[in-house]
Amino acid sequence: MSDENEDDIVLSDLADDDLVEQMFDDLYDGLADEIREGTEILLGRGWDPKRVLDDALVGGMNIVGKDFRDGILFVPEVLLAANSMKSGMAILRPLLAATGAEPVGKMVIGTVKGDIHDIGKNLVGMMMEGAGFEVIDLGINTDAETYIAALHKERPDILGMSALLTTTMPYMKVVIDAMTEQGIRDDFIVMVGGAPLNEEFGNVIGADAYCRDAATAVEVAKSLVSLRRAS
């Protein structure tokens, strides 16, 4: 996707369509300054913030997500792309809040108690933000009380839990059981992920979905949220 003559390209000289195409490339290449500049140019041309988000940033991140899922891009590249997306999001977020544009949905996510692995969780969070979700990140080593307090406070559509250790993955069931005991299990979609998990484990602990990677998490989240809102 890189353009060898990238240094020669003046973003403000490009027509809207070409600029968006260039932003796809810049996002793919993890160029945060260019994404910030492109975002500002489009806003300056009268694009509304939601259109910039959907057409330029989310569109570009979808390409990154697909190539990550297909093994063409790897973790470092995706983190860079996600980071440049965040630089555009930082400009758009207050404008979106001001225009009252509804996020696609809201997710609370955290790595479970006893586990400090957070690279995968962060990727999921960033890709979800890239898809238009509001994401509340509880960090690592998250106990059931902290998850549940966040569910009460934030009222998200989705609870996402991550675990990378065979010794910590059973804690996901502890959280789901605590939700059931409090009578709030069915108020939320529960999605789980992490390298040692699989679909069967997700079913056994009573999650709504196991997601093998960040791109899948975004697809599953979109579909479960729209199903729930339709019903």
Residues in contact with ligand B1M by CB under 6 A are 75, 114-121, 123-124, 160, 162, 164-167, 191-196, 211, 213-214, 217
Reported as type and span, the H/E element at residue 189 is strand 189-193
Q: How far is the CB of 157 from ligand B1M (least distance, A)?
A: 12
Q: Which is nearer to ligand B1M, 31 or 172 (CB)?
A: 172
Q: Which is nearer to ligand B1M, 95 or 165 (CB)?
A: 165
Q: How far is the CB of 155 from ligand B1M (least distance, A)?
A: 18
Q: How far is the CB of 44 from ligand B1M (least distance, A)?
A: 35
Q: How far is the CB of 224 from ligand B1M (least distance, A)?
A: 11
Q: Which is nearer to ligand B1M, 131 or 214 (CB)?
A: 214
Q: Which is nearer to ligand B1M, 80 or 164 (CB)?
A: 164
Q: Which is nearer to ligand B1M, 35 or 211 (CB)?
A: 211
DSSP string, 13-78: GS-HHHHHHHHHHHHHTT-HHHHHHHHHHHHHTT--HHHIIIIIIIHHHHHHHHHHHTTSS-HHHH
DSSP string, 71-129: TSS-HHHHHHHHHHHHHHHHHHHHHHHHHTPPPSEEEEEEEBTT----HHHHHHHHHHH
Q: How far is the CB of 227 from ligand B1M (least distance, A)?
A: 16
Among residues 185, 209, 215, 188, which one has the least CA distance to residue 197? 209
